[in-house]
Chains A and B, each alone.
Chain A
Amino acid sequence: MVRNKRVGAKASVLAAAAALLLSACGGAGVDAEASAAPSGDAALAECGSYAIAMHAWVGYTASAQVITEVAKANGCDISQVTLAEAGVTYDAMESGSVDLVVEDWGGGRWQEWADRGALVEVGDNGNVGIIGMYVPQWMADEYPDITDSANLNKYADLFVNDESKGKGAWYEGPPGYTTIGEKMVSANKLNFTVLPQGSEAALIDIFTKAAENKTAAIGYWWTPQNFLAKVPMARVNFPANDWTDPAEASGLTDYPELPLMKLATPKVMEANDAFTKIVKNFKWTNDDQNQVAADIESGTDPAVAAQKWIDANKATVDGWLK
């Protein structure tokens, strides 16, 4: 103990000496060289500073990055904050910590926050979420009538595995998405067990292996998602859709097409600066998003991938700024 105390005393003397030295030289050397770089331009004053919530899927990254680059080019000060989706993000918007969600699939789960004035539903971002149940392409080739939901029971035996309790395994979508698998199975009297999948990664694993090993699988999938371009799959058709609120869905019909929404704080909507315009007018197609997403997935830096698309689509981008 005695020795330790001595070491402690010495360390604190040293620390004090170091602190003195530090305050004396003040990091001037490094700053002098670093400040040689240009530091922002005057246009910054016109547009405010905003934080964009970043969610964990690549399509989202693509949209958010394009908005970030366009806004920065117009003098806005943009930061990106990685955040869990839904509640955490809406609360953060309410407290003013983040200002924008560029792609929400929630179909109105933000309503309670919108009613309180915490956020504003700005409208759709041009992307349309198309959700459905898919089988690997080889199954559609081998059993052409499998893509009709009425024939699913005929093939249920193909889908049985150790997880599925003797019935066909029906792989359900991730928790953040609109899912009505259990209703679909019971309403259509399908001989399947719904297996909840907690992540996009789990579904990708299932479909990739099903394509590679020619194993059977039926699962939830959606676009825009650039995975379909790599691993072809066939959609199983259920009767045309007749619902918008998942709570009221009968389960007999397919998923509806879902416009993906932009959500912003009142601060953004009232600022009336370049960012307000970009947020209000930002709109692009599923193809656009998939292009940028594909670049990001193949390892391109998101900022570079976004800039590449912006350079190639000047007219569209200019339209957002009007």
Chain B
Amino acid sequence: MSVRTEPAIKIAPKSIRRSWILGGLLIIWVAVAQILQGKATLELAVPDNSKFTAWAGEVADSIRDNRNDGLAFKYFFNPIREFIDGFVNIIREFIAIPNGSSSIPVLGWLGVISLIGFVVFAVSNVRMAFAAMALTFACGALGLWTDSMDTLAMTFAAVILSLAIGIPVGIWAGLSDRVLKVVTPILDLAQILPTLVYLAPLALVFLIGPASATIATMVYSIPIAVRLTAFGIRGVPTSPVEAGTSMGTTKRQLLRKVQLPMSSRTIIMGINQTVMAALSFVVIAALIGAPGLGKPVIDALIIRNVGDGFVAGIAVVLIAIMLDRSTSAAITKKETFVPPSEADRKRRKLALIIAGITAIVGIVLSRQMVWAAFFPKQIDISSQVANVSDFAVTWVTENLELLTAGLSKAVTVGVLNPLESILANSPWYLTITMITLISLILGGVRSAIVSATLLIAVVATGLWYDTMITFTQTIVATMLTMIVGVIVGVWIGRSVRAERALRPILDAGQTLPAFVYLIPMLGFFGPSRFTAIATGIVYSIPIVVKIVGQGIREVPVNMVEAATSTGSTKWQLITKVQLPAAKKSLLLATNQGLIFVLAVVVIGGFVGGGGLGYLVLLGSSKPELQGKGLVAGFCILLLGVMIDRIAQYMVARNSAPKH
């Protein structure tokens, strides 16, 4: 430990000097911003186009006009659409929609549940198999069997296709720095660019229906698979790799025998997150005519029926939990694998055979008996669940108003308004100068150049003011996400029990469609920028918690034991050992927290967030402003890249060799 603290003392004077300069800069910024308040803010009225957005609109129009290029459709888009539609429909006919001339899918409800039970049992254990069967059954009990199966089929298709592309690319990016450098900006683009920006063009090319929805989902979920796979491969300690190399193993052997097995936990987490991402798309998918649980969510939203919305939302969460637990159980089982005795193996074999026969009986029954084919209507707990949700939301709205209003007011008046007044409501040149100077101090010359370039690009688009409004909200939302996420992440990283208890809540945060809690959020906080932030962090906190928790858990046991034996307190253990050792995970968590916040900026536009999110919504429904919506989407991307790069340069600089 003494080795660690020494350099920290050495660099102290420098970092103190740096924070003095930073403080000074901030004071100057605030002062000058006060004097020049409201001047040169480049505010553009909502219905107006800038030169650039008008041009973007014209370009989009001309692409639209020229799309009757028959060859591209015949040999490229149509085959892709047909392949994906076909793939989705095969799975749907298996579990969701009538198959051919039959009036039921290949499997009735009992058949689906039996099959799920058997598969989960085969890859993990009995408990997990029953849990998965119960969760699937619950979807039926919510009165949403067919919609749930449609969503399951769509998710399955999107996840398989995403992994088929994402894992190989992720492995490649994990092995080669150059590949990582090339793909990172593309991943940023795909993850941050709001879906609504590319949804209409996708539907234009691939038509409405399952294919467009699957592709839209893949655009968002492939980057997650790539990132986490690459991260896992890179996280493999160097010693086993070196040992392998010195023993003369080939690259391929190294990958298969060392790097892949050692990073399998992270890769499985990547698969989980890909599933979660796919499930977070059910409502968006419904906007372009795809089947599944998005439709009941929208139907409930139309008549502002909070309870029914939650019923459909909960079905999404149940599917998420079912898929997530099954994949996790499979990997845990693999890890704790102790060579079984002969008797154990025999018993297991027998159990598998029994399970298999039971599953086949269930499947056959589901094709022969009406009661096993169509989910029984008598089993329906949807109205009870709807009532409980309604009651809970009403109770919070009525009884916790002081708390919700107070929280909203504190953040709005205390943080949002002051930050907005210096970022958005002061002259643009002042903001650019100050951000550039700050990133110079924090991250060095290269970071300053990146910030200045990206900010000037934003000015050139004409959407400077809206970008700064969104920037303000993004900063606040990311900060809140990180504060809550790191605290909870450390907690679940240190306590298995906490992890078990919180996991369903985290899954719900990530997969419960925002449209389900939009109306309750409005009820709690009213339409405002804070409400936009609140809806954003519901979605982004879980990923931060999960990554941080995972990082803490992976801190080598001997480090923790060494610290404990030298008498470190719990607090010291966390701040001096576990958090520093999990630094890489913290970085990934910050990056993903930010990206997830930006991914739901558009949702904020629905509830009074204004800024770029609202412009994206506007552009998708007003053809004359489509260019503005498109450019707003790209400005969200520029913001994301800028914040992320400043953070990266800052970290790279501070963790540079301190000798």
Contacts and interface: CB of A to CB of B under 8 A. Distances in A.
Contact of A175 (B208, B609, B618): B618
Given A25-B368, A206-B526, A91 B106 contact: no
Contacts of B134: none
Contacts of B605: 175, 196, 198
Contacts of B522: 201-202, 205
Contact of B207 (A92, A197, A203): A92
A10 interface: yes
Interface in A1-33: 3-4, 7, 10-11, 14, 17-18, 21-22, 25-31, 33
Interface SS majority for chain B? helix
Contact of B287 (A83, A163, A299): A83
Interface string B603-620: 011111110011001101
Nearest to A302: B299
A7 B352 contact: yes
Contacts of B504: none
A76 interface: no
Interface stretch (A135-143, A150-158, A176-184, A235-243): A176-184
B617 A97 contact: no
B481 to A, nearest CB: 21
A127 interface: no
B301 interface: yes
A82 B289 contact: yes
Contacts of B319: none
B360 A202 contact: no
A202 B103 CA distance: 42
B302 A86 contact: no
Contact of A109 (B61, B295, B623): B623
Given A18-B360, A30-B104, A175-B617, A88 B287 contact: yes
Interface in B96-111: 99, 101-104, 106, 108
A285 interface: no
B304 A14 contact: no
A199 B606 contact: yes
B367 A25 contact: yes
A163 B209 CA distance: 39
A255 B17 CA distance: 60
Contacts of A312: none
B127 interface: no
B472 to A, nearest CB: 13
B538 to A, nearest CB: 17
Interface in A254-301: 296-297, 299
Interface stretch (B137-145, B196-204, B245-253, B590-598): B196-204
B66 to A, nearest CB: 13
B418 to A, nearest CB: 12
A102 to B, nearest CB: 14
A201 B622 contact: no
Contacts of A231: none
B412 to A, nearest CB: 5
Contact of B305 (A10, A179, A180, A299): A299
A61 interface: yes
Contacts of B204: 91, 95
Interface in A183-224: 183, 194-199, 201-206, 209
A92 to B, nearest CB: 5
A27 B366 CA distance: 8
A84 interface: yes
Most central of B417, B527, B622 by chain A CB within 10 Å: B527
A195 B610 contact: yes
B295 A201 contact: no
Nearest to B626: A87
A17 B608 CA distance: 57
B287 A175 contact: no
A302 B205 CA distance: 32
A15 to B, nearest CB: 9
A112 interface: yes
Given A58-B303, A82-B287, A92-B208, A171 B527 contact: yes
Contact of B367 (A7, A22, A297): A22
Contacts of B582: none
A56 interface: yes
Contact of A10 (B203, B352, B412): B352
B298 interface: yes
B518 A199 contact: yes
B203 A88 contact: yes
Contacts of A22: 106, 363-364, 367
A109 B413 contact: no
Given A31-B102, A196-B614, A201-B301, A112 B623 contact: yes
Contacts of A34: 103-104, 370
A246 B334 contact: no
Interface string B517-553: 0110011001111000000000000000000000000
B260 to A, nearest CB: 10
Contact of B303 (A35, A172, A209, A297): A297
A51 to B, nearest CB: 9
Contacts of B434: none
B204 to A, nearest CB: 5
B409 interface: yes
A88 B200 contact: yes
A166 B47 CA distance: 23
Contacts of A98: 208, 289
Interface string B391-422: 00000000000000000010011000100000
A128 to B, nearest CB: 21
A134 B139 CA distance: 43
Contacts of A73: none
Nearest to B65: A116
Interface in A56-113: 56-58, 61, 81-88, 91-92, 95, 97-98, 109, 112
A109 B624 contact: yes
Contact of A81 (B289, B417, B608, B621): B289
Most central of B294, B298, B620 by chain A CB within 10 Å: B620
B199 A84 contact: yes
A201 B412 contact: no
A311 interface: no
Given A86-B623, A163-B608, A56 B305 contact: no
Nearest to A246: B47
Contact of A88 (B108, B288, B295, B370): B288
Given A27-B104, A88-B203, A109-B622, A202 B607 contact: yes
A247 B106 CA distance: 55
B108 A30 contact: yes
A319 B573 CA distance: 80
A198 B360 contact: no
B103 A31 contact: yes
Contacts of A172: 46
A29 B367 contact: yes
A41 interface: no
B123 interface: yes
Given A83-B288, A198-B617, A97 B368 contact: no
Interface of B: 45-47, 61, 99, 101-104, 106, 108, 118-119, 122-123, 199-200, 203-204, 207-209, 286-289, 294-295, 298, 301-305, 334, 337, 352, 356, 359-360, 363-364, 367-370, 373, 409, 412-413, 417, 518-519, 522-523, 526-529, 604-610, 613-614, 617-618, 620-624, 626
Given A27-B106, A86-B621, 17 more contacts: A7-B352, A21-B360, A30-B370, A31-B102, A86-B620, A86-B622, A86-B623, A88-B200, A91-B200, A95-B208, A175-B614, A175-B618, A180-B47, A183-B47, A195-B608, A196-B608, A198-B617
Top 3 nearest A-B pairs by Cβ distance? A29-B368, A198-B606, A202-B527
6 contacts: A81-B289, A91-B203, A97-B209, A162-B409, A175-B618, A198-B609
